[in-house]
Amino acid sequence: MFAAEADLVRLAQLSEELRRIAFLLVHLSAETTSEGSRAASDAYGAELSTDLLSAIIRARQMRSRYIANDLFAEPAWDMMLELLEAEITQRRVTVSKLCNAAEVPSTTALRWLDAIVDKGIAIRRPDRFDSRLVYVELCDGASAALRRYFAELMRA
């Protein structure tokens, strides 16, 4: 088997493992909520836990240990996951932290941030007390769309 074929097989295995982990986390969070875990209910009644989002984010980051990360660069998706997790945990995310979450060069991350702001997915909010800080948060419509996506994913 060629190296590229082995990578594809391993990718399929990792994808299946991630699906099983997400399924397990969904069912565990439905049965019991741990003290340190926050969850947000969407309009469909499904609970989106920070545990699930954290597992998805970790799995995406872990991929680079096995397969070259440049094949999977999705900075906008990584940013949206970070912003949704921050919203649920009621954390504020600075532009620099969001750029780090994208795991691409800063200039690339900033271009992607501009794109998601231009498309109405996120909004920049300057800090009222420190003009050097700018925070980013999901717009209501994007937050609702992501929650619906995860609700459907959990039902699938």
The average pLDDT across 46-67 equals 77
**DSSP H or E stretch at residue 123:** strand 122-126
pLDDT score for 22: 61
CB 114 within 8 A of CB 81: no
Domains of the chain in sequence order = 3-155 (1.10.10.10)
CB 148 within 8 A of CB 43: yes
Provide the sign of the torsion angle of the four alpha carbons 40, 41, 42, 48, taken in this order: positive
The average pLDDT across 135-153 equals 91
Quote the CA–CA distance of 139 and 83 in Å, as a whole number. 10
Place of tokens 């969850």: 39
pLDDT score for 85: 92
pLDDT score for 79: 95
Name the residue with higher pLDDT: 51 or 111: 111
Instruction: Give the 3-state secondary structure of residue 90.
Output: coil
Two structure tokens written together for 50: 């920070």
pLDDT single digits (tens) 74-85: 899 999 999 999
pLDDT score for 36: 41
pLDDT band at 19 (very low <50, low <70, confident <90, very high): low
pLDDT band at 155 (very low <50, low <70, confident <90, very high): confident
Quote the CA–CA distance of 64 and 126 in Å, as a whole number. 33
Name the residue with higher pLDDT: 50 or 93: 93
pLDDT single digits (tens) 110-132: 999 999 999 999 999 999 999 99
Please report, as a single letter, which amino acid is at residue 28: L
Least confident of 33-37, 97-101, 147-151: 33-37
